[in-house]
Structure 1
C-alpha cells in the first residue's frame, strides 16, 4: 500500500528582514487604458518591516484617476514573485494576519478606504480578496475581464465577524481543486464559501490598500476627500494538500 501524499506547510515570508524582500515581493503593475504600464504605488506611502510584519501607511491617498480604475483603485499593492500551484485534485491554503486602520473613511462604505489580503490568478481572472475597513470585514470573489474570460463579475459579501480600527484578524483562503470552491476562514471559523466559474491551477498572493468608489457614480471630490489607511500583514503561511491517494 502506498503511503498517503503528504501535506506541506511552510512560511513564505515572516518579514524579519530590514527591507521587503525583492525575491519574494514586487509592486504590482498593470497595463492602463492608455497602453502604458502603471505601478500600484502611491507617492505618499510609508513602508516598514523587520518586526515580523509589513506595515504600509498611505495618508492621505493620492493615486486617483477619473476614467481608468486601474489607475485609480489600488493605492499600494504588493504581489508575490512566486506563483503557488494548486495540487491536482487537492487544495491550497494561504494564511496571514491583517490589521487595518482607515483615516477619514466614510463609515460602513466598503470601497472608500480598505485593506486586503489578495489571492488571484491573472490567467483565468479569478480573484479572492479578504478585505477590511475600520468597521467591516468582507469577502470578495471576482472574475476580471482578462482575454478569454466570459462574464466578468464581482461579489462582495459582508462577514459577521466584528472588528474595529487596527484589530488584527487571522485570514485563511482555501481553494479546492476537486470542487472549484473557495473557503474564507476568519479567526479559525468558516466565514464564507463560493464556487468559481472555471478551474484554477495556481495563484499569486498579495497585500494592498485601496480606495475604489465607482468612477461613474461619484465625482472626484467625493472619491478624493483626504481619506487614507494603514495595513499590517504577516507572517504568510502556505499549505499544499495533495489529492487523496
Structure 2
C-alpha cells in the first residue's frame, strides 16, 4: 500500500450484534436446473456473532452437490451485499483476522476443508482468496467456469519459506491488495507476501466473503467431499483501505 497518499480505512461490520446483519451479508446461492435454489449454507452449522467476531463451527459437513464442482466446493459462504469499486489508480486492500481448525480432517490435506477470506468478482468469476486449515496457509487464484469463460482454473499456492507458524485455531492477519493500473494482485499474511500476480486481469468491482470449502474433485459417481470431517473458523476486524483520493 502506498505511503505517499493519505489512506482511508473503514471497518465493514463490527459484529457487535447477536446475528449476522442481512443488510450487509448474504449467502451465495446457485439456481438449479429444476428451478430450485442451492444455498451454500451448512444446515447444522453453529454460528455465533458478537464481541466483534463472526464464528462458525461445523462438526460434520453435509452440504454438497453430486454434479457441479463449483457448487460442491462451498460448504458455507457468506459475502457482502455491497460491491466495492476498485479504483482506476492506486491500490485497494481488503484485510481480516482469521483462524481455522479442522475437525476430523486429514492432516495436511486442505481438500478436506479450509476457511477462506474471499475477494471475488461475481460478474467475471475472478477469485482472490487466502485460506487456512489447522496446519496450512495458502493463497487461491481462481477463474470460475462462468458462462463465457474459456479457460477456468483453480490454483492453490503455498509459500513454504514465508516463516509463518501455523497452528490449529491460531489467528493471522490476511490481506489481498488489488491495483488496476499496475494490473497486480498481492496476497499477504501477517504482512508477509505469500503470492503475487503481475499482468493480472483486475476487475472493476469485488465483493468480500467468509467461507468454508472443500476441494475434492466430483467423480463420475458423484461428490466425494463428505468424509465425516468438519471445520471451525472465525473472522474479525474486516477493513477496506484505499487512497483517500480514489
**Same fold flag (TM > 0.5):** yes
Further displaced range: 106-115 or 68-77: 68-77
**Unpaired runs of at least 5, structure 1:** none
Further displaced range: 102-111 or 211-220: 211-220
* Alpha-carbon separation, structure 2, partners of 1:136 and 1:89: 34
Seen in structure 2, the aligned counterparts of structure 1 residues 217 and 193 have a Cα distance that, compared at 3 Å, is: farther
SS of residue in 2 equivalent to 1:223: coil
Further displaced range: 29-38 or 233-242: 29-38
RMSD: 2.1
Q: TM-score with structure 2 length normalisation? A: 0.90
Q: Pick one of 226, 232, 235 that aligns with 1:233.
A: 235
Q: Does 1:39 align with 2:44?
A: no
SS of residue in 1 equivalent to 2:12: strand
Matches within 5 A, 1:1-245: 6-32=6-32, 34=34, 36-160=36-160, 161-195=164-198, 197-216=200-219, 223-241=225-243
Q: CA deviation at 1:174?
A: 0.2
Say whether the 8 Å CA contact 1:88–1:242 is kept in structure 2.
no
SS of residue in 1 equivalent to 2:110: coil
Q: CA deviation at 1:21?
A: 1.1
Say whether the 8 Å CA contact 1:120–1:127 is kept in structure 2.
yes
* Alpha-carbon separation, structure 2, partners of 1:41 and 1:140: 21
Say whether the 8 Å CA contact 2:86–2:205 is kept in structure 1.
yes
Further displaced range: 180-189 or 92-101: 180-189
Q: CA deviation at 1:64?
A: 2.1
Q: CA deviation at 1:195?
A: 3.3
Q: CA deviation at 1:6?
A: 4.3
Q: CA deviation at 1:33?
A: 5.2
**After superposition, what is the alpha-carbon deviation per residue over 1:177-235, rounded to whole angstroms, capped at 9, x for unaligned?**
11221101101111211136523111100001112211128975x53221000110011
**Unpaired runs of at least 5, structure 2:** none
Further displaced range: 129-138 or 7-16: 7-16
* Alpha-carbon separation, structure 2, partners of 1:135 and 1:33: 38
Moved over 6 A (4+): none
Say whether the 8 Å CA contact 1:100–1:134 is kept in structure 2.
yes
SS of residue in 1 equivalent to 2:239: strand
**After superposition, what is the alpha-carbon deviation per residue over 1:67-116, rounded to whole angstroms, capped at 9, x for unaligned?**
22243211111000111101112211001000001111111112111110
